[in-house]
Structure 1
Amino acid sequence: MKDKTSEGMDTDSDVYRTLLESTRAIPWKIDWQTMQFAYIGPQIEALLGWSQDSWVSVEDWAQRMHPEDRDKVVNFCVSQSRAGTDHEADYRALTADGRYVWIRDVVHVVRNEDGEVQALVGFMFDISERKKTEQELVRLQKELEELSFKDGLTGLANRRMFDSVLSLEWSNARRNHQPLSLILLDIDYFKQYNDCYGHLQGDDCLMRVARILESAATRARDFIARFGGEEFVLILPETDAQAAEKVAQRCRTLILDAGIPHESSESLPFLTASLGVSTIIPSHGDEPGEFVDEVDRLLYKAKQEGRNRVESLV
């Protein structure tokens, strides 16, 4: 016959187990010497579909883990446990019907009086919804970053992206002693175009010009951006002055040949553009901002000289 003390302990044990098994967290215990499950909560079957008695050893735990997660998580948990360090691990657990559920294991290391690891106890939590939210936030963040470098109207890169790419190509050109060319393009009499046809038609015009410029730059590293307003810019890495001049002339010709009506133009009854182009092999004393200013001055000269022309130093 049990005494009152042992009866009380049994009652306490039953209470603790009832509390544990009534939560959504899944309690478990592993004997460190045998690497066998001493206990795992019955909630495991509802979550993963595997029966409670099928969790015999840590091998069952490891084999029911996504192959991409297995080595990393197992090695981490073993090393932390050996060191006697409490830890957490996130991984994808295989369900009995072949799906994967995101699990977070929270592990406490139990030591004996000699300080040796005796057991691991912990809880499994279903964090699938949290992971879905995290992944969606990552996707949205990536989309936001992409949008922050893209012009919303034309779909081309924007000024911010231009600054980043120019800085990168500038460093490459200086390091490899290669020519770097830049073209600035401005649509002629664009204010008058908007006044004549309206801003919606003006937006359509900008989008058409963007597509024309994309067809003019044929190499993978050629970079096109909307510089601002009706201005566009092309970065041509490893392109000498003569080749850059040809690209600029091709841009000008393609825009003219598109035959976009422009009744308010003071030069031709079709849309035209003025371009400035220059080439540099950057040295340590040169600055990209000064180079852009130089090309901008050439663009201004092209407009002053009558528009629908390319101005360069060639």
Structure 2
Amino acid sequence: MLESTKAIPWKIDWATMRFAYIGPQIETLLGWTQDSWQTVDDWVTRMHPEDRDYVVNFCVSQSQAGVDHEADYRAMTRDGGYVWIRDVVHVVRHENGEVDCLIGFMFDISERKRAEDELLRLHRELEQLSLTDGLTGIANRRMFDQRLETEWADARRSGKPVSLVVLDIDHFKQFNDAHGHVAGDECLRRVAEALRDVVQRPRDVVARFGGEEFILLLPETDAAAARELAAQCVERLTALRIVHGGQGAGDYVTASLGVGTVQVAGACTARAFVEAVDGRLYAAKRGGRNRVEVL
């Protein structure tokens, strides 16, 4: 009856660490003949190297403690491939409490693992989409808020500065009025790409803050470096030469920028810092646009 099922029964004598029995279904699943399973070493060597230490140590410790257990691992097939296996183990003990043998079943869980991996991939993809601005492909406001919280806490511990550059496209409503919203979307994408080219470090964040406003989060960046990056943003934007010509605007698209740097200490909050730098941006707007204001 057991040999007619897909579950593969087996028994190991604890004293000798030899297989007393293993079902013939093992050959169908892994390619190894039934009589090739002699000792525990055959089980160990036919396991994926990345799984081996953890699974063996776990199973031995649980068996010694007399605890029934389960273990998932990749078993090697005779042709060098791998199949995901779930081993369900029952520990049989003598009347004196010492381990007599292990009786268990091997189950092929490859399909389940593939489904789990696909679900995990889709979850990660969805999570990434939820943190990405759909129009420009850069980080969105949610992603910025998460990273700001992380970097703010790190800066408080390390004492290193954090800088922000906030950028807003000048006369963007007039740009849309003159060229249409499709052109406006393309303008936002080109500006985002230019800003992404400015920051090079993995921890730096370029995000769309909302509408035509963008923000750069620059961990471990002092005031001089932040001003230099802001200047580079202006240069990149100028080099795009996106024709504007809308009412009240110049020939090409420009932007106003606010820049700030802080040493995180005391009651200083991330929100207050963002608001202060954003205030510098609007000071740049009031000062005539196409300029940088430093906090």
User: Which residue number in structure 1 is paired with residue 205 of structure 2?
Assistant: 223
Contact 1:182–1:235 under 8 Å retained in 2: yes
Distance 1:245 1:20, change over 3 A: same
Paired residues for 1:30-45 under 5 Å: 30-45=12-27
Contact 1:26–1:124 under 8 Å retained in 2: yes
Aligned residue pairs, count: 295
Shift of 1:220: 4.8
1:85 alignment partner, SS class: coil
Distance 1:47 1:194, change over 3 A: same
User: Which residue number in structure 1 is paired with residue 194 of structure 2?
Assistant: 212
User: Which residue number in structure 2 is paired with residue 136 of structure 1?
Assistant: 118
**Which ranges in structure 1 are unaligned for 5 or more consecutive residues?**
1-18
Following TM superposition, where does structure 1 have runs of at least 4 consecutive aligned residues deviating by more than 4 angstroms? 218-221
Distance 1:174 1:58, change over 3 A: closer
User: Which residue number in structure 1 is paired with residue 135 of structure 2?
Assistant: 153
Shift of 1:126: 0.5
Contact 2:260–2:294 under 8 Å retained in 1: yes
Contact 1:188–1:265 under 8 Å retained in 2: no
Quick one: distance in 2 between partners of 1:281 and 1:145? 31
Residue among 41, 47, 50 paired with 2:32: 50
Contact 1:183–1:278 under 8 Å retained in 2: yes
Which moves more between the two structures, 175-184 or 37-46? 175-184
What is the one-letter code of the residue matched to 2:47?
A: M
Distance 1:220 1:126, change over 3 A: closer
Residue among 248, 251, 263 paired with 1:281: 263
Residue 254, structure 1, aligned to residue 240, structure 2: no
1:70 alignment partner, SS class: helix
What is the one-letter code of the residue matched to 2:69?
A: H
Quick one: distance in 1 between partners of 2:157 and 2:79? 57
Paired residues for 1:1-314 under 5 Å: 19-313=1-295
2:260 alignment partner, SS class: strand
Quick one: distance in 2 between partners of 1:85 and 1:304? 73
Distance 1:58 1:277, change over 3 A: same
Quick one: distance in 2 between partners of 1:154 and 1:290? 27
What is the one-letter code of the residue matched to 2:276?
A: E
Which moves more between the two structures, 256-265 or 282-291? 256-265
Quick one: distance in 2 between partners of 1:233 and 1:221? 14
Contact 1:265–1:271 under 8 Å retained in 2: no
TM-score for the superposition, normalised by structure 2: 0.92
2:60 alignment partner, SS class: helix
Which structure's CA Rg is the greater one?
1
Shift of 1:186: 0.6
Percent of aligned pairs with the same residue?
63
Shift of 1:76: 1.4
RMSD: 1.9
What is the one-letter code of the residue matched to 1:247?
A: L
**Which ranges in structure 2 are unaligned for 5 or more consecutive residues?**
none
What is the one-letter code of the residue matched to 1:173?
A: A
Quick one: distance in 2 between partners of 1:245 and 1:213? 14
